[in-house]
């Protein structure tokens, strides 16, 4: 019986192999979906619907009418409840006392430069009563200027390590100077920490959402009338732990912090945006963000044009115009395998492209490529246009045009740091510099 069974299996295998059926049964790809249907719980494959839900919002007319963040939030939430779609904003100025929280599979689309989302001026006061990490209320020393519905930011000095703790919340009820918060605190905000409460928030924000878009509108941070809040918490757009969000045709301007910031967000696409005159960063692909694409944007008059934060990998900065920033493009802490290609970087106050030194080889920005960029008139006297610092390895700087038309005062085209390794330089055209390439490795 055993011999007969083995003979049968061998014969069957030979027959399947001869007919080509084996390849179809073992190790082949699954069949493609040729006639998709909407199936419960399946958000990967759907029919190509020709029309989805759209809700119009306007300051004077629309399905929802109003000129504040609340009417936009109502539209976003309505569309989200029905599975996603589009919120279309009519021309007008919408005034924000709190962030609009985005939802998965919702597109927020404006009408171009005539649709302006403006952050109201901030107010700040101190706490009058200690609040512990489990409390869901605060008492303000001066409640004037604060309203139910406002977005706020609490900041305090941590009593244990001396750092700053930050919490963003919404005021949802009040009795005099006492306000209830939408969520309980998870840090101690005590008087001894000189805790302040400010009406600071991102204009648009999203947390743990997937899919969606922001397009064709103006986000104005009203910088001169707002206190500073850095890009780890806010910006004209601030995203946290999101996936597959696109931002196109946005003018983000005048935020006392960052323009467009996304933290631990993957497959974010930013195209044809103008991010300018921020106190912080024009584009901030934040810590842990994988595969960001930043293409054909104009980044102007910021602290840094594009800031690769910590652990940003497999990203693309392509055909951006980066002009008049203190630093054009900065890349550092474990930012690896990124491509910076075809950008125009000019008139940077300090440096055009900086590879940050970080804290040793394990943290350095390895295997990044800087290719075919136009780099003009960057940095002060005796500075380098492209500065590769730290223990950076495996970087390619290829076919760039690096020039300076200002009086020659000791400027350097490319500086290679003393502890770097395997820095590949080829076909770069460097003009107007005192030193084309300064290789500090030769001085070790």
Res 285: pLDDT? 98
Mean pLDDT, residues 330-349 taken together: 98
Mean pLDDT, residues 197-221 taken together: 98
The dihedral region occupied by 276, where left means phi > 0, alpha psi between -120 and 50, and beta the remainder, is beta
pTM exceeds 0.85, yes or no: yes
Provide the strand spans (E) within 256-320. Answer: 260-263, 269-271, 274-276, 281-285, 293-295, 298-300, 304-307, 316-318
Res 444: pLDDT? 58
Mean pLDDT, residues 376-404 taken together: 98
Res 2: pLDDT? 47
Q: How far apart are CA 265 and CA 135, in angstroms?
A: 30
Q: 3-class SS at 216?
A: strand
| CATH superfamily ID and name for 50-122+200-302 | Single-stranded right-handed beta-helix, Pectin lyase-like (2.160.20.10)
Query: Mean pLDDT lowest for which of 4-13, 44-53, 428-437?
Result: 4-13
Res 408: pLDDT? 82
What separation in angstroms does the CA of 328 have from each of 22, 229, 300, 355, 374? 56, 21, 9, 11, 12
Torsion of CA 307, 310, 314, 318, to 10 degrees: 0
Q: Strand 196-198 to strand 124-126: parallel, antiparallel, or no bridges (unpaired)?
A: antiparallel
Q: Is the pLDDT of residue 178 over 90?
A: yes
Q: Is the pLDDT of residue 65 over 60?
A: yes
Mean pLDDT, residues 363-373 taken together: 98
Mean pLDDT, residues 131-160 taken together: 96
Tokens (6 digits) for 71? 């009417």
**Cβ(193)–Cβ(185) below 8 Å:** no
Position 406 confidence tier, pLDDT thresholds 50, 70, 90: very high
Mean pLDDT, residues 116-130 taken together: 98
Position 26 confidence tier, pLDDT thresholds 50, 70, 90: low
Express each pLDDT in 236-292 by its tens digit: 999 999 999 999 999 999 999 999 999 999 999 999 999 999 999 999 999 999 999
Position 21 confidence tier, pLDDT thresholds 50, 70, 90: very low
Res 15: pLDDT? 42
Q: Is the pLDDT of residue 29 over 60?
A: yes
Q: What percent of the chain has pLDDT over 90?
A: 87
Mean pLDDT estimate for the chain? 94
User: CB neighbours of 273 closer than 8 A, spacing ≥ 6?
Assistant: 247, 248, 249, 250, 251, 252, 260, 297, 298
Mean pLDDT, residues 28-48 taken together: 88
Position 409 confidence tier, pLDDT thresholds 50, 70, 90: confident
What separation in angstroms does the CA of 408 have from each of 47, 381, 404? 62, 8, 8
Res 43: pLDDT? 79
Position 25 confidence tier, pLDDT thresholds 50, 70, 90: low
Res 160: pLDDT? 82
Question: How many CB atoms are located within 10 Å of the residue 135 CB?
Answer: 15
Q: What percent of the chain has pLDDT over 70?
A: 94
Res 12: pLDDT? 46
Q: Is the pLDDT of residue 22 over 70?
A: no
Report the largest interatomic distance among the alpha carbons of the chain, rounded to a whole angstrom.
95
Q: How far apart are CA 339 and CA 395, in angstroms?
A: 10
Domain ranges of the chain: 50-122+200-302, 124-198, 326-444
Q: Is the pLDDT of residue 7 over 60?
A: no
Q: Is the pLDDT of residue 211 over 90?
A: yes
Of the candidates 343, 311, 295, 345, the one whose C-alpha atom is nearest the C-alpha of residue 325 is 345
Position 3 confidence tier, pLDDT thresholds 50, 70, 90: very low
Position 24 confidence tier, pLDDT thresholds 50, 70, 90: low
């Amino acid at each position: 019986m055993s011999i007969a069974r083995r003979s049968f299996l061998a014969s069957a295998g030979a027959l399947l192999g001869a007919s080509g059926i084996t390849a179809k049964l073992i190790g082949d790809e699954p069949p493609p979906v040729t006639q998709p249907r909407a199936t419960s719980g399946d958000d990967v494959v759907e029919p190509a619907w020709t029309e989805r839900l759209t809700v119009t919002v306007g300051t004077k007319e629309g399905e929802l009418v109003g000129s504040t963040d609340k009417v936009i939030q109502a539209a976003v939430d309505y569309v989200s409840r029905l599975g996603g779609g589009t919120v279309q904003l009519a021309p007008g100025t919408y005034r924000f006392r709190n962030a609009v929280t985005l939802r998965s599979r919702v597109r927020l689309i404006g009408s171009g430069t005539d649709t302006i989302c403006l952050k109201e001026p901030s107010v700040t006061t101190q706490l009058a009563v200690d609040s512990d990490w489990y409390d869901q209320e605060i008492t303000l020393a001066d409640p004037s200027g604060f309203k139910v519905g406002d977005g706020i930011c609490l900041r305090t000095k941590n009593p244990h390590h001396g750092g700053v703790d930050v919490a963003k919340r919404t005021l949802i009820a009040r009795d005099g100077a006492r306000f209830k918060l939408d969520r309980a605190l998870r840090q101690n905000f005590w008087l001894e920490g000189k805790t302040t409460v400010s009406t600071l928030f991102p204009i648009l924000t999203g947390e743990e959402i997937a899919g969606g878009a922001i397009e064709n509108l103006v986000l104005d941070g009203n910088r001169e009338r707002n206190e500073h809040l850095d890009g780890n918490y806010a910006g004209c757009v601030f995203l946290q732990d999101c996936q597959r969000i696109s931002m196109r045709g946005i003018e983000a301007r005048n935020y006392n912090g960052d323009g467009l910031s996304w933290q631990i967000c993957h497959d974010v696409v930013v195209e044809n945006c103008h991010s300018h005159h921020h106190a912080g960063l024009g584009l901030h692909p934040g810590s842990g963000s994988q595969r960001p694409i930043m293409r054909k944007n104009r980044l102007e008059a910021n602290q840094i044009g594009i800031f690769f934060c910590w652990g940003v990998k497999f990203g693309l900065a392509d055909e951006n115009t980066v002009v008049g920033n203190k630093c054009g493009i900065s890349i550092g802490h474990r930012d690896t395998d990124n491509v910076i290609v075809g950008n125009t970087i000019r008139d940077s106050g300090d440096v055009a492209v900086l590879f940050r030194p970080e804290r040793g080889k394990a943290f350095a920005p390895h295997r990044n490529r800087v290719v075919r960029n136009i780099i003009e008139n960057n940095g002060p006297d005796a500075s380098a246009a492209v500065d590769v610092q730290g223990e950076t390895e495996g970087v390619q700087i290829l076919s760039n045009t690096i020039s300076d038309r200002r009086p020659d005062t000791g400027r350097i085209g490319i500086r290679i740091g003393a502890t770097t390794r395997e820095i590949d330089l080829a076909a770069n055209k460097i003009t107007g510099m005192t030193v084309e390439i300064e290789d500090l490795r030769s001085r070790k």
